[in-house]
């Protein structure tokens, strides 16, 4: 299976368990890894044979900068579901959401969650 990756997308959102996170907001980073067949795109040089990553970025931005989730796990799950719903060409997506500055007094590079979802043989979105 071929792969497209969108790495290090940066957005400002209001996700978190604490009221100040919902009020003040913070930066989030998102990576997407998409698995799909790119052989037609590679041989035809036709955008219609792949997925438009500018559109994927816009979709991800609308979710991260949209209504808040308490958990970044829920945010990542919503991104995965929406990507698979919008792009039937994609067989599997891995979403990584990084919260670089969680609201507690610890010195580290942030908290990251990663989840993978794919379509089953009936077209339903399922965990991998």
Residue 49 to residue 39: CA distance in whole angstroms: 9
- Residue 65's Cα: distance from chain center in Å? 12
Q: Which fold has domain 2-127?
A: GTP Cyclohydrolase I, domain 2 (3.30.1130)
Alpha helices, H only, the chain: 19-24, 39-44, 53-64, 72-86
Q: Would you name the residues annotated as active-site residues?
A: 99
- pLDDT tens, position by position, for the chain (128 residues)? 899 999 999 999 999 999 999 999 999 999 999 999 999 999 999 999 999 999 999 999 999 999 999 999 999 999 999 999 999 999 999 999 999 887 777 777 778 999 999 988 888 889 98
Give per-residue pLDDT as tens, 82-113: 999 999 999 999 999 999 887 777 777 778 99
Are 85 and 59 in contact by the 8 Å Cβ rule? The answer is no
10 Å CB burial of residue 111 (0-12, 13-18, 19+) is middle
For residue 84, the tally of other CB atoms under 10 A from its CB is: 21
Q: What is the pTM of this model?
A: 0.91
Backbone angles phi, psi at 81, to 5 degrees: -60, -45
Q: What angle do CA 64, 66, 67 make, to 5 degrees?
A: 115
Sequence ranges of the domains in the chain: 2-127
């Amino acid at each position: 299976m071929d792969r497209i990756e969108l790495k290090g997308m940066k957005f400002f959102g209001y996700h978190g368990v604490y009221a100040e996170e919902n009020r003040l907001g913070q930066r989030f980073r998102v990576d997407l890894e998409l698995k799909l067949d790119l052989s037609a795109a590679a041989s035809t040089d036709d955008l219609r044979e792949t997925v438009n990553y500018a559109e994927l970025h816009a979709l991800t931005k609308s979710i991260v900068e949209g209504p808040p989730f308490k958990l970044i796990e829920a945010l990542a799950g919503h991104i995965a579901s929406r990507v698979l719903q919008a792009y039937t060409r994609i067989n599997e997506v891995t979403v990584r959401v990084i919260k670089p500055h969680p609201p507690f007094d610890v010195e580290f590079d942030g908290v990251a969650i990663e989840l993978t979802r794919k379509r089953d043989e009936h077209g339903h979105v399922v965990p991998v």
